């Protein structure tokens, strides 16, 4: 079993990233597997990044990994740009993936907006680089949030087409691990919008850097509704805010949504929100404390990144070499 995942080096992380990705990365360390967790700085520059900030954003994501419990002795943590195999394989895969596949990618449509003529070509071929990220390690499992499913489908299509065209079974078809209660955390201001770093309202999300008081106050201000919580999960179906808050409680406490309702069904948000605030503060405040300490220790972060990059290069370089040989390139 080989696990790979990544998070873009753009902006700071929030509870959605923690539950959809970071927590899973840390939890998967109990499995018998090799783990590669990268900071996707090359994906970040598909939209403009201030060169003066990119490096600190990269280190900040690394610090988030560490604060969330990813252990550099068990997992390679590295910046994508420090491993040449990513871009080298991306070119080879640009010649495998089809325009029609990329035309269907919803993330490109969302990010490019109405003016797609002005979007970078990198933003368009973004999923091809992502396929390279995964396949250069011959990764078998990829933990991500629900929003990455389409990109993972494309990765499998690239692997399938490569194997088919070259008559080989060189690339394994990686499995996406997006299930679980944290796969899609919604905004605290709108239960129908994803919690996101680009939301202009800071109250819509819990940042990994928020201290205990800020976290508690955001939970208490979170949008809810006037009803009591239902006794059973299907009672949450038409109540997006209630469903999201119950989901956050369940994901952080490591119990099911039904367990939460067994305790709080029939009670209103006046009772539920303080309990939720306790759970969120209990889990997130220690992470934010560690994170703030690590952010002042760039020496330690750089040491971890260097070690991770060495390991990542060791594993990925021979896969690219073999791919070139299969394609018939000189060398």
Q: Which of 161, 197, 273, 324 is catalytic?
A: 197
Kindly state whether residue 185 participates in binding ligand AMP, applying the rule CB under 6 A.
Answer: yes
Is residue 23 annotated as a catalytic residue, yes or no?
Answer: no
By the 8 A CB rule, do 122 and 45 touch? Answer: yes
Is residue 218 annotated as a catalytic residue, yes or no?
Answer: no
Q: Which residue has the tokens 């970040």?
A: 44
DSSP 29: G
Task: Give the pair of three-digit tokens for residue 184.
Answer: 């899609």
Burial 293-312 (b: 16+ CB within 10 A, else e): ebbeeeebbeebbeebbebb
- Which residue sits closest to ligand AMP, CB atoms considered? 20
How far apart are the C-alpha atoms of 64 and 76, rounded to whole Å? 14
Residues near ligand TRP (CB under 6 A) are 4-8, 40, 43, 130, 133-134, 142, 144, 148, 151
- Which residue sits closest to ligand TRP, CB atoms considered? 6
Percent of the chain that is helix, strand, coil (3-state, to 5):
60, 10, 30
Under DSSP, is residue 55 helix (H, G, I), strand (E, B) or coil?
helix
45 binds, among ligand AMP, ligand TRP, none (CB under 5 to 8 A by kind): none
Q: Which of 3, 4, 17, 176 binds ligand AMP (CB under 6 A)?
A: 17
Under DSSP, is residue 318 helix (H, G, I), strand (E, B) or coil?
helix
How far apart are the C-alpha atoms of 282 and 319, rounded to whole Å? 43
Strand-pair partners of 78 = 38
156 binds, among ligand AMP, ligand TRP, none (CB under 5 to 8 A by kind): none
- Interface with ligand AMP (CB under 6 A), residue total 17
142 binds, among ligand TRP, ligand AMP, none (CB under 5 to 8 A by kind): ligand TRP
Helix (H) or strand (E) holding 38: strand 34-40
Interface characters, 191-230, with ligand AMP (x: CB under 6 A): ---xx-----------------------------------
- Least gap, CB of 176 to ligand AMP (angstroms): 10
- Least gap, CB of 140 to ligand AMP (angstroms): 17
Q: Which residue has the tokens 């499998």?
A: 156
Kindly state whether residue 20 participates in binding ligand AMP, applying the rule CB under 6 A.
Answer: yes
List the catalytic residues: 111, 194, 197
* Positions that interact with ligand AMP (CB under 6 A): 7-8, 16-17, 19-21, 144-145, 147-148, 182-185, 194-195
């Amino acid at each position: 079993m080989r696990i790979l995942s990544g998070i873009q080096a753009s902006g700071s992380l929030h509870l959605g990233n923690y539950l959809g990705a970071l927590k899973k990365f840390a939890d998967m360390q109990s499995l018998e597997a090799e783990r590669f967790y990268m900071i996707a700085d090359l994906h970040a520059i598909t939209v403009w990044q201030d060169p003066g900030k990119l490096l600190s954003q990269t280190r900040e994501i690394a610090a988030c990994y560490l604060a969330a419990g990813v252990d550099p002795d068990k997992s390679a943590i590295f910046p994508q740009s420090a491993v040449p195999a990513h871009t080298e394989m991306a070119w080879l895969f640009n010649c495998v993936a089809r325009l029609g596949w990329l035309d269907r990618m919803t993330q490109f449509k969302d990010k490019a907006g109405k003016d797609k003529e002005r979007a970078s070509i990198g933003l368009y071929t973004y999923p091809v680089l992502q396929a390279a990220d995964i396949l250069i390690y011959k990764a078998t499992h990829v933990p991500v949030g629900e929003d990455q499913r389409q990109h993972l489908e494309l990765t499998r299509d690239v692997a399938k087409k490569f194997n088919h065209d070259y008559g080989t079974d060189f690339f394994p078809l990686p499995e996406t691990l997006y299930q679980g209660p944290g796969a899609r955390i919604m905004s605290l201001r709108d239960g129908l919008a994803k919690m996101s770093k680009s939301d202009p309202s800071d109250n819509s999300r819990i940042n990994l850097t928020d201290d205990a008081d800020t976290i508690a106050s955001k939970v208490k201000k979170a949008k809810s509704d006037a009803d009591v919580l239902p006794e059973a999960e299907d009672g949450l179906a038409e109540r997006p805010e209630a469903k999201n808050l119950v989901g956050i409680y369940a994901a952080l406490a490591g119990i099911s949504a039904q367990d939460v309702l067994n305790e709080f069904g029939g009670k209103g948000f006046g009772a539920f929100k303080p309990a939720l605030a306790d759970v969120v503060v209990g889990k997130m405040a220690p992470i934010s404390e560690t994170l703030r300490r690590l952010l002042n220790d760039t020496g330690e972060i750089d040491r971890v990144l260097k070690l991770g990059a060495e390991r990542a290069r060791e594993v990925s370089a021979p896969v690219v070499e073999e791919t070139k040989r299969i394609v018939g390139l000189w060398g």
